[in-house]
Amino acid sequence: MIEPYIPDTLPLKIIDWERHVTLIGKANAALARYDGILLGMVNPQVLLSPLTTREAVLSSRIEGTQASLEEVLQYEADVGEPRPDQEIPDTPQIRDIHEIINYRRAMGAAVEELAARPFSINTIRNLHRILLTGVRGGHKDPGEIRHIQNYIAPPGTPIERATFIPPAPSILMDALSNWEEYLYSNERDPLVQLSILKAQFELIHPFLDGNGRIGRMIVPIILYHKKILSRPTFYISAYLERNRETYYERLLAISRDGDWNGWISFFLQAIVLQSEENSVKARSILNLFNDMKTQVPEITRSQYSVQAIDVLFSSPVISSRDFAIKSGIPSRTAQRIVERLEQKGILRLLREGKGSRSPVYLFSGLLDITEREGK
């Protein structure tokens, strides 16, 4: 049986800086270009809302959920965003959707917490509590550092045949204290530091469940905390999901072989390629937004065009009823706007209205950009 992992003390003394110098330059430049696009957005939180939901979908998919972005958005259009204490129907798809909604809710809470207090292990515990409340893993002490030994292996496999055994509970607090000290230290390059912080967190595995999702969630948080990005809106899970086997193998190589440099190279490459993809998507969304600022007023001839556009970008799958409520546009006017936008192909009818159920529409131009793979 393998022994529980003993985390290396940070900062590391084995970083091959010469090996990484080219990727360090490329990664920092790619992130700077992406942040330039963010700075050019009037309201990135609204415009990038679908990308945030997609990040939640893909990060959760790495852990086994199957729900798609469109399914999540359509569920919210049908029932509204669920309350944190709402009872969840016991079907696999609905459970998956609620896990994704919790992930997005935790990301939103992170933005609020960072505005109020410094980033810390306590912040991570709060995010973990939100992530697991009322969903799979909700019985595994959300927000609490584990007090028992866990391990990673296929379901039903005994610990003797585990792939990885995280640190023993007795050393967790020391390991997390060292992690937090390193977070606030000055490393030669902050992206190398981020790569180490992410891997070390996932190897420490401080919770009974949800460690991978939290480990991916802290990437944009630390980029914002270190002032590398102007907003904590960076989406890395698409690359990690596409390269899932390599992602897990590079983490395992740290615990098995001490190969931190292999992980650092993998992570920096992820930053380069994902920054480029994020830039293309963000620029395409910004261009679409500018097009809509011209087209929607021309199509609707309405004083409420600005409100209509904001709602379509924040809720690209929406019922006619919610469109009126979220925009604050009078119901009849809102319905007329939606019908005109459908006639001109801006919106697509996703589901007919029936009885008390309002019709549901899809802003296909935005979702096409969001779901586009690669660059």
The domain spans of the chain are 17-278, 282-371
Q: State residue 91's pLDDT score.
A: 84
Report the 3 state secondary structure along 24-48.
HHHHHHHHHHHHHHHHCCCCHHHHC
| 233 membership: H or E segment, kind and range | none
Q: Kindly report the average pLDDT of the chain as a whole number.
A: 94
* 65-81: pLDDT as tens digits: 999 999 999 998 887 65
Other C-beta atoms closer than 10 Å to the C-beta of 299 total 18
Say yes or no to pLDDT of 354 above 90.
no
Helix H or strand E encompassing 234: none
pLDDT above 80: residue 254: yes
Tell me the two tokens of residue 316: 């690209």
Q: Is the CATH number of domain 282-371 1.10.10.10?
A: yes
* Model pLDDT, residue 139: 87
Torsion of CA 153, 159, 162, 167, to 10 degrees: 100
- What CA–CA distances, in Å, run from 305 to 155, 323, 361? 52, 12, 17
pLDDT tens per residue across span 274-332:
999 999 999 999 999 999 999 999 999 999 999 999 999 999 999 999 999 999 999 99
Nearest in space to 324 (alpha carbons), one of 341, 340, 342, 336? 336
11 upstream amide cis, omega within 30 of 0:
yes
Query: Which band of pLDDT confidence, cut at 50, 70 and 90, is reported for residue 35?
Result: very high
Mean pLDDT, residues 233-259:
96
Amino acid found at 302? S
What is the model's pLDDT at position 319?
Answer: 94
Mean pLDDT, range 129-146, rounded to an integer = 92
pLDDT at residue 304 in the model: 96
pLDDT classification of 45: cutoffs 50, 70, 90: confident
Confidence of residue 253 (pLDDT cuts 50, 70, 90): very high
* SS3 label, residue 164: strand
Quote the CA–CA distance of 15 and 268 in Å, as a whole number.
13
Q: Each residue of 115-133: pLDDT tens digit?
A: 899 999 999 999 999 999 9
Q: Quick one: pLDDT at residue 208?
A: 96
Treating both helix axes as pointing N-terminal to C-terminal, what angle do 320-327 and 305-314 enclose, rounded to 10 degrees?
120
* 348, β-bridge pairs: 362
> By percentage, how much of the chain surpasses pLDDT 90?
87
Residue from 338, 337, 342, 310 nearest 326 by CA: 310
What pLDDT is stored for residue 1 in this prediction?
78
For 17-278, give the CATH class: mainly alpha
Instruction: Take residue 51 and report the two structure tokens written for it.
Output: 């990308």
Quote the tokens at residue 296. Answer: 């929607």
| Strand spans (E) along the chain | 317-319, 348-351, 360-362
| pLDDT, tens digit, 9 for 90 and up, residues 81-112 | 566 666 666 688 899 999 999 999 999 999 99
Task: Summarize pLDDT for 167-200 with one digit per residue, the tens.
Answer: 999 999 999 999 999 999 999 999 999 999 999 9
Q: How high is the pLDDT of residue 188? A: 97
Write down the residue that tokens 């990437």 correspond to: 219
The arithmetic mean of pLDDT across residues 225-249, rounded, is 95
The yes-or-no verdict on residue 211 having pLDDT over 70 is yes
Position 86 scores a pLDDT of 62
| Inter-CA distances, 196 with 10, 13, 165, Å | 9, 12, 19
pLDDT exceeding 70 applies to what percent of the chain?
Answer: 96
Distance CA 137, CA 122 (A): 19
Q: What is the pLDDT of residue 10?
A: 98
3-state secondary structure of 60: helix
d(CA 44, CA 285): 10
